[in-house]
Amino acid sequence: MPNSSHDESMELIEMLHEGKMLSHPVIQRHVDRALHTGDSKPLYDFLEKFPIFTAYAERNIALARYQKLDNPYRPYPDHDEVLEYLTGPMKLGFVNARSDMFGVHSDIFSLPAIMPGRVRAGKSQLMKYMLCQIFRKQRDFNVIIPDLKAEYRNLLPIARHLKLLTKEHIKLNPLEVPNWMTPADHIIFFSKVFIGANWLGDTSKNVLRLTLEDLYRKRGIFDGSQNYPTMRDLYNVVSYQLDSHRSFKYRDILLLLQNRLNPYSLSENFNCRIGLPHDIWRKENLVLEMDTGFTDDMYCFIICYIAGLRYTYNMKKGLIGSILRTLFNIDEGRILFSPHRDTSIFGESYINEIITKTGEFGVGFIVASPETASFSQTIRSISYTKISFPLTDGADKNFIKESFGLDDEQANYVFRLPRFGQAIVRYGGYEKPFLLAVPNFKIKKHLTDEEVEMRMAPFYSEFERNIKRTEIPMDVQIIETVLPAASALLYFLSKEPFTNVSDMTETPGFKSPEDVKKALNWLKDNGFIERQEYHTSKRGRKSAFAVLTQKACAYLDIKGFVGKGNFEHKLYQHFICECHRKEGLDAKIEGRIKGSQKLIDVLAYSKERGYVAYEVTIHFENLLLNIHQDIAAGASEVVIVTRDQKEMEKAIKMVSNDLTLNQNLEQVTFSIIADFFT
C-alpha cells in the first residue's frame, strides 16, 4: 500500500478509529507517529503486511451500520466507555449487552434531571429503584418527595431512612419566621413564593408585602414575638381591607388575593401558629402525601416554599458548591413549572426563577411528567441528565430531538421503544445518547393507613407536641376557588363584557385560542357565564357572547356593568353609544340631562341637534312613559330603537295611537339596532 497524501492518511485513520482498531497497540503506535510526524508510511506498510486489520475495521463499520438500521443507538457504550464515563455508586440501569450498568455520583443531581414518558412506561420504577439505593444507608443529603398518588409509602418497609407525612400530619405556617431569617427578609420571601405559585402579578406582591409588614408590626414579630399570624389571619386582614376600600383597581387586587388565600385559610394543614420545624426539610427524607385536600396551586406553593427555604438557608449559611444537599423528586412537572405561563402578566414562577441558582447551593430536582410540554425552557436548558421513556405524540418526538440532540432516526426510535422499562438517555458526562434498560424492581407490600400510622408513630410524636393550632370559625363563608386562567378571563369580561367569543383569541394573558376556550368552558360548566347569541352585524350569523352570571358578579364583588336591563338591552346601549362616539359626538349610557333625574338609555349631544335621547325598546311596557319623560327633561329628539322592522312598526303604532303625543310627534323617530352596526 503506497504512501499517500495527508487527506488520504486522515481518512485511513478515521476508518481505523470508526472500525475500533485503535485498541490494537501496534496500530495505535503507528497512528500516533503519523499524527505527530506527518509520516504515515510505517502505518501503510504495517497494514499492507497485515491486511486483516483493515478487513476487521471494514467489517466492524459495516456491522455497526447494519445494526443501526434496526437500532440507531448501536453500537452500545462498550465496556471501556462505561468504565470511563458512566460509572458511579448510584445505578440507573443496563446500557449494553454485557449488562454493564450506568451509574452516577449523587452530586450529579445537584443539576436538574428531567424524565418524560407516557403513563406506565417505567418512570416511577426507575425513581423508586434509585430512591431505595439512597434510603438504605444514611447519606449526606436528604430527599423530599411530594406524592400525588400515595404510592411512595410502599417504600417504607425497604427504606429504613425514609419518613412519611400523611395529609393529616402536613402542618405548615408559611408566615412563621425561621430563626435564621429576619422578619423583613421572610416577608419578601413569602410574598415572592405565594404570588408566583398562585398566579398573581407584581402589583399583588407589593400589596401583600405591605399588608404583611403591618400585620407583623401589630403582632410584635419585628420585636421578637412568636405570635405569628396564620393564613386565616392574613385572609381576614385582606377581607377587611376589601370592605374598607372603594378604589376599583385596588379592590381588583384585593379580590384576587382574597380568592387565592381562601383555600389556605380553610385548610387544617395551614391552621397553626407554629408548624413543622424548619430544619425537618433539610434533615429528613420525607414523603409528603398530597393526593387529597390540596389544590394544584397549594401543591405548587408547598414545593416552592420548601425549596425556597432550602435554597435561602444554604445561601445564608454559605453552603456553596456542587455538593447535593437536598433532592426533590417531582412526579408532576406540569403543575410545578407552568411552561405556558404568560410572564408579561403573571411574572416568572418562583421555581423557574431559583432553579438556575439552586445547583450552586446543592438543591437538586428530578422532574418526571407524562408529557414533554410540562417542562419549561429553563429546566430543559440546564438539565444535566435527561431520560426519555416511550412517548406517543409527534410534538413529543420534536421535543426529544431538539432537547436531547438526536438525529432523525434516533428521535423516531422513541416510538419504537418497548412498552415498558427502556429509555433514551442524554447524559452530560458522555458525548452520545444511549439506551437504558431499567432493572426489574417491584414492591410487593402495599401499606394501609393503619400500618403507616403504626410505623410513623415515633416520628410523629417528635414534633406533634410543638405544633400550635388555631380554631377555624364555624361561620366562615366558603368562597369557591377559581382556576387562575378562568379568573383572568372573568376579570377581562368584567371590563370588556361586550367582546364576542370569536374576538377573545387575543385576550391578554392567554397564549393560544385553545387556552381561552378551556377557560370559557370551565366558567360555563361551573356556572360563572352563560352563552348567549345576538346579531351584531347587518349580515351573517349571530355572534356568541359570554354573559356573566350572578355567581360571577358575586365572585368579582360587582353589581354588574354599565347599562340597565338584561344583557341584550345593555349590549344595544353599548352599540348605540359606541356608534356616536366614533362619529365624534358626546354620548353616555344612562345619561341624565342637567336639571332632570330621568336616566336615559343613551344620551347623545351635539350643537346641531341638542340632546338626543335613545331608548332601547325590547319590552314595550314603558315605551310611552319614556318618551313623555325624555321630552319633559329637555330632549330635543327621542329615538326609539327596536330589535327589527316588525317591532319598530309595533312601536310606531303605539306612539301614533297616543293622542297626548300628537303635539310632539315630530320629536319622536324610530330606528332598528342594525342601523348602529358598523
- Tell me the per-residue pLDDT of 580-615, one tens digit each, with 9 for 90 and over: 988 888 999 999 998 888 999 999 998 888 999 999
Domain boundaries along the sequence of the chain: 6-70, 76-168+280-468, 177-272, 484-556, 567-676
Class of residue 119 by CB neighbours under 10 A (exposed 0-12, middle 13-18, buried 19+): exposed
The pLDDT score that the predictor gives to residue 165 is 95
Q: Tell me: the pLDDT tens digits for 485-537? A: 787 788 888 888 998 888 887 777 676 788 888 889 989 988 889 999 998 88
pLDDT greater than 50 at residue 289: yes
69 vs 537, more confident: 537
Q: Can you tell me the mean pLDDT for 13-24?
A: 86
**Residue 415 to residue 433: CA distance in whole angstroms:** 16
pLDDT at position 68 over 60 = no
Confidence of residue 62 (pLDDT cuts 50, 70, 90): low
pLDDT of residue 182: 96
So what's the pLDDT on residue 473? 47
Q: Assign a CATH topology to domain 484-556.
A: Arc Repressor Mutant, subunit A (1.10.10)
User: According to the model, what pLDDT value does residue 2 have?
Assistant: 40
Of residues 387 and 342, the one with the higher pLDDT is 387
Query: How confident is the model over 631-653, as a mean pLDDT?
Result: 93
In the structure, what pLDDT confidence band is assigned to residue 51 with cuts at 50, 70 and 90?
confident
Coil, strand or helix: which one is 57? helix
Q: Which residue's C-alpha cell is 393529616?
A: 168
Q: Is the peptide bond before 174 cis (omega within 30 degrees of 0)?
A: no
pLDDT at 547: 92
pLDDT given for residue 474 in this prediction: 40
Q: What is the pLDDT of residue 122?
A: 87
Least confident of 221-230, 345-354, 404-413: 345-354
Does CATH place domain 567-676 in 3.40.1350.10? yes
* pLDDT, average across residues 103-127: 92
pLDDT in tens, 85-96: 999 999 999 988
| pLDDT of res. 219 | 87
Of 119-123, 228-232, 330-334, 571-575, the poorest mean pLDDT is in 330-334
Q: What is the mean pLDDT of the chain?
A: 87
Report how far apart, in Å, the C-alpha atoms of 644 and of each of 513, 567, 670 are. 33, 17, 11
Least confident of 84-88, 105-109, 425-429, 491-495: 491-495
* Nearest of 525, 457, 519, 451 to residue 490 by alpha carbon: 519
pLDDT for the residue 322: 82
DSSP letters for 373-388: GGS-HHHHHH-SEEEE
**CA 508 to each of CA 343, 493, 505, 618: distance values in angstroms, whole numbers, following the listed order:** 11, 11, 9, 34
The pLDDT score that the predictor gives to residue 185 is 96
Query: What is this structure's pTM?
Result: 0.65
Evaluate if residue 416 carries a pLDDT over 80: yes
pLDDT at 15: 87
3-state secondary structure (DSSP) of residue 398: helix
pLDDT classification of 477: cutoffs 50, 70, 90: very low
Helix H or strand E segment including 395 = helix 394-404
Comparing 244 with 131, the larger pLDDT belongs to: 131
| Nearest alpha carbon to residue 639 among 595, 678, 594, 609 | 609
Q: What are phi and psi of 341, to 5 degrees?
A: -65, 135
Are 287 and 162 contacting, i.e. CB atoms less than 8 angstroms apart?
yes
Long-range contacts of 18-22 (CB under 8 A, 24+ apart): 18/57, 18/60, 18/61, 18/64, 19/56, 19/57, 19/58, 19/59, 19/60, 19/61, 20/57, 20/60, 21/53, 21/56, 21/57, 21/60
For residue 1, the model assigns a pLDDT of: 39
Q: Using one digit for the tens of pLDDT, what is the confidence trace for 133-174?
A: 998 888 899 999 999 989 999 999 988 889 999 999 999 999
pLDDT score, position 88: 93
CATH code assigned to 76-168+280-468? 3.40.50.300
pLDDT at residue 476 tops 50:
no
Pairing, β 586-591 against β 543-548:
unpaired
Confidence (pLDDT) at 673: 92
Confidence at residue 222, expressed as pLDDT on a 0 to 100 scale = 92
Report whether pLDDT(676) > 50: yes
Q: CA 191 to CA 210: how far, in whole Å? A: 10
